[in-house]
Amino acid sequence: MGAIDKTNTTDRETWRSWIWRQQISGEFGTGFRGGPSLSIMGDTSQSLSDYDLPHLIMTYTALLSLAILRDGFSQLDRSGLIKFLHASQLPDGSFSPVPGSTEADIRPLYCAFSICHMLNDWSGIDVRAAISYIQRCRTYEGGYSQSPDQEASGGTTYCAIAALALLPLAIRSTTALTPFELKQTLRWLALMQEPTDAGGFKGRTEKTADACYSFWCGATLENLNAGHLVDPDANARFISSCQFKYGGIAKAPNHPPDPLHTYMSLASLAIYPPTGVAEPDAWVLQKMDPALNASRDTAEWAREKIRATE
């Protein structure tokens, strides 16, 4: 919403410095942890231990956060990061959040693809095995599940489609959905938007609308060049009904607000600003990069500065 430009230089430098302190290195390479809670008291070496490992999702978050703060990425351990990506991939093509874990699904896979995209370097991972894993997460409805043989969800469908959209063009052209698959996926996503006046998106078949899926489903349709299937005014009405009187946006009307649903709702509105409102300019937000899940300006900064570390 542009508020970062209103913060002072000292605060922004403090935030950047704190994030860089979460970059840790060791036998599995280099990545970012979520915070210092598991570090040994007084240890400033930023070396990892069996209990304090870099986390794939936190690494994706850290890189985009630093891009929001317009960091130059001079401290990025590029080769260590590529090694970390390799250490996080399992033989079936999936990725675990931390090296050595058996927990794996399509969410850290999306983060790995995002990091490779920002690096413009896919050498650390087995891309074909990862694509095969994505395909095995596809369900009979046309959506994608968290892992094979589970139920399709809007969030994990976003991870699957956005991951494919982030691939280099030469690879992407060979992984496109067939016409039937595309039609099936578009139908499922379009049916996730409630046909009532409420107009919100649900995440799974026969569930109720939830504000975060306005982004997960809406951005997926945009990644598939099918944003015309979204009713932006109905979506905005639902998000408006989720606002809290003291600020923030909740998952649904009459629920308490939280940062996640506030962000996802605003990100959805950035892609689909309503048209049939009294003050349409008041709804206009920064344009989004729907595949990387960041403003276009931040996404371009991340690509330019991170790739320059090569």
pLDDT digits (tens, 9 = 90+) for 157-166: 999 999 999 9
Helix (H, G, I), strand (E, B) or coil at 292: coil
Average pLDDT over residues 55-77: 97
C-alpha distances (whole Å) from 244 to each of 51, 176, 248, 256, 258 are: 39, 41, 6, 7, 10
Angle among Cα 95, 97, 102 to the nearest 5 degrees reads 65
Contact 236, 275 (CB under 8 A): no
Each residue of 125-148: pLDDT tens digit? 999 999 999 999 999 999 999 999
**pLDDT band at residue 34, thresholds of 50, 70 and 90?**
very high
**pLDDT band at residue 310, thresholds of 50, 70 and 90?**
confident
Q: Percent of the chain at pLDDT above 70? A: 95
**pLDDT band at residue 100, thresholds of 50, 70 and 90?**
confident
How would you classify the pairing of strands 294-295 and 288-289?
antiparallel
What residues contact residue 116 under an 8 Å CB cut-off, 6+ apart? Answer: 85, 122, 124, 125, 166
For the chain, the residue count is 310
Indicate if the pLDDT at residue 195 is higher than 90.
no
Enter the pTM of the model: 0.94
Each residue of 293-309: pLDDT tens digit? 999 999 999 999 999 98
User: Residue 34: what residue type?
Assistant: G
Could you tell me what percentage of the chain is helix, strand and coil, using 3-state DSSP and rounding each to the nearest 5? Answer: 50, 10, 40
Indicate if the pLDDT at residue 80 is higher than 70.
yes
In whole angstroms, give the CA distance from residue 145 to residue 261.
21
In whole angstroms, give the CA distance from residue 114 to residue 295.
14
pLDDT at 40: 65
Q: Domain coordinates of the chain in residue numbers?
A: 1-37+50-125+294-309
pLDDT at 104: 94
Beta bridge partners of 144: 138
Indicate if the pLDDT at residue 43 is higher than 70.
no
In whole angstroms, give the CA distance from residue 277 to residue 60.
36
pLDDT at 41: 55
Each residue of 232-251: pLDDT tens digit? 999 999 999 999 989 999 99
Look up residue 130 and give its two tokens.
Answer: 């990862």
Q: Percent of the chain at pLDDT above 90? A: 82
The domain over range 1-37+50-125+294-309 is classified in CATH as 3.30.530.20? no
pLDDT at 197: 65
In whole angstroms, give the CA distance from residue 156 to residue 140.
15
Average pLDDT over residues 17-22: 96
Indicate if the pLDDT at residue 252 is higher than 60.
yes
Lowest mean pLDDT among 13-22, 48-57, 222-231: 48-57
What single-letter DSSP state applies at residue 143? -
Beta-carbon neighbour count of residue 42 at 10 Å? 5
Closest residue by Cα to residue 115 from 295, 293, 296: 293
Indicate if the pLDDT at residue 291 is higher than 90.
yes
Helix (H, G, I), strand (E, B) or coil at 13: helix
Average pLDDT over residues 82-100: 96
In whole angstroms, give the CA distance from residue 58 to residue 61.
5
In whole angstroms, give the CA distance from residue 212 to residue 189.
14
Indicate if the pLDDT at residue 184 is higher than 80.
yes
**pLDDT top residue among 114 and 276:** 114
